[in-house]
Amino acid sequence: MWAVLALVALRRPRRLHLTRSGLTLTDPFRRHPLALDWADVSRFTVGLDGEDSSVAFHYRPGRDPQGRSGYARAKTAADGFLGSGRTMSDRKLPEVLNTFRARALGLEPPPGWVRRTAGSE
């Protein structure tokens, strides 16, 4: 059984692809990729998906494309989850996604964001 799961994961590895318009998450165990437009999302946070922490996303009011967020929000306080299992921690990734989203939309950076320049590290 584990060998089959490993083959599936190798054939279609989990990837998080960021663009100017949004993000796409592919997962070996998800039939279709999850695509989010930056304009539809209000923020990314760390949330609890069951008992595990994960990166949660929150739609802007009226922007949930499938109209399911009321149930999900009542159950988990988030509209959806990106899952875990990436090399970046679930604590750091929301900060990176919120910053990327703000820059892609031409918005003010989120509070606490520091612009890094060459030589400032």
How much is the pLDDT for 36? 92
Strands (DSSP E) along the chain, which ranges? 15-18, 22-26, 34-37, 41-49, 52-59, 80-83
Q: What percent of the chain has pLDDT over 90?
A: 18
pLDDT at residue 115, as a whole number? 55
32 lies in a domain? yes
Q: Which of 91, 79, 86, 93 is nearest to 40 (CA)?
A: 79
> What is the mean predicted confidence (pLDDT) over 71-97?
77
- DSSP bridge partners of 88: none
Give a yes or no: residue 58 inside a domain.
yes
Would you give the DSSP letter of residue 60?
A: P
Report residue 104 as tokens. 């892609």
* 18 neighbors 9 (Cβ within 8 angstroms): no
Report yes or no: 98 and 57 within 8 Å, Cβ to Cβ. Answer: no
Residue 115 included in any domain? no
- Is residue 42, in this structure, part of any structural domain at all? yes
- How many domains in the chain? 1
Average the pLDDT over 15-27 and give the result. 89
Place 9 in a pLDDT band, splitting at 50, 70 and 90.
Answer: very low
Specify if 97 maps to a domain.
yes
Mean pLDDT of the chain: 76
- Asked whether the predicted pLDDT for residue 23 surpasses 90, the reply is yes
Assigned domain for 4 exists? no
Q: What is the pLDDT of residue 120?
A: 44
Whether 114 maps to a domain, the answer reads: no
Full domain range(s) for residue 92: 21-105
In a domain, 52, yes or no: yes
Cβ 56 vs Cβ 44: under 8 Å:
yes
